[in-house]
Amino acid sequence: MSTLAIVLRYEVLFLLLALAALVGYRMLTQQINVTGLLMDKTSGRAISPGRVQMLMSSIGLAAYYLFLVLDTKDTSRLPDLPNELVVAFGASQGVYLLGKLYGRFATTLGLASPKVRERAKPKEGKTNQ
């Protein structure tokens, strides 16, 4: 039975690592579509600060947790994540969502910049269907 467990261990480990490496490589070489990942779709800005901070916090938290797992002594449970980090992650998501909500209603409430208002106008030559 121990041989079976060892074979299964390396098999699944190989699958997970190969899959992660393949997805990572394809993202870096843009074979996986990453266009507009950081773009603010409402204003058309190439970089949205809300998206950048969310990307950073997600990658940072994921990396930190992987190190916690590799460093843990108690293998009977996944390692605890400090509450402060969970709150910080929630706040990061909140900032991103508030930014998105602001972009959604800024034009309606008259808070949008002239450029954004211009984008929101119906294009010429179009009629209602």
Partner 1 sequence: MTAATIGLVIGWILTIFIGVLAVMILIKIFTGDIDLNYIISDENGWASLSRFQFLIFTFVVAMSLFYLILARTPPEYPAIPKEILALLGISGGSYVVSKGIQSSRDVSMTEADNPPEVKDPKVTNTPIVGDKAEVQSQSEKPKPNGPQPAP
Q: How far is the CB of 28 from partner 1 (least distance, A)?
A: 13
Measured in whole angstroms, the distance separating CA 20 from the mean position of its chain's CA atoms is 16
If binding is defined by CB under 8 A, does position 62 make contact with partner 1?
yes
Structure tokens at 59: 């990658």
Please spell the DSSP secondary structure of 108-124, one letter per residue.
TTT-S-HHHHHHHSPPT
CB atoms within 10 A of CB 81: 13
If binding is defined by CB under 8 A, does position 22 make contact with partner 1?
yes
CB atoms within 10 A of CB 107: 16
If binding is defined by CB under 8 A, does position 111 make contact with partner 1?
no
Residues that bind partner 1 (CB under 8 A): 1, 4-5, 7-9, 11-16, 18-20, 22-23, 26, 31-39, 41-42, 51, 54-55, 58-59, 61-62, 65-66, 69-70, 72, 75-83, 86, 89-90, 93, 96-97, 100-101, 103-104, 120-123, 126-129
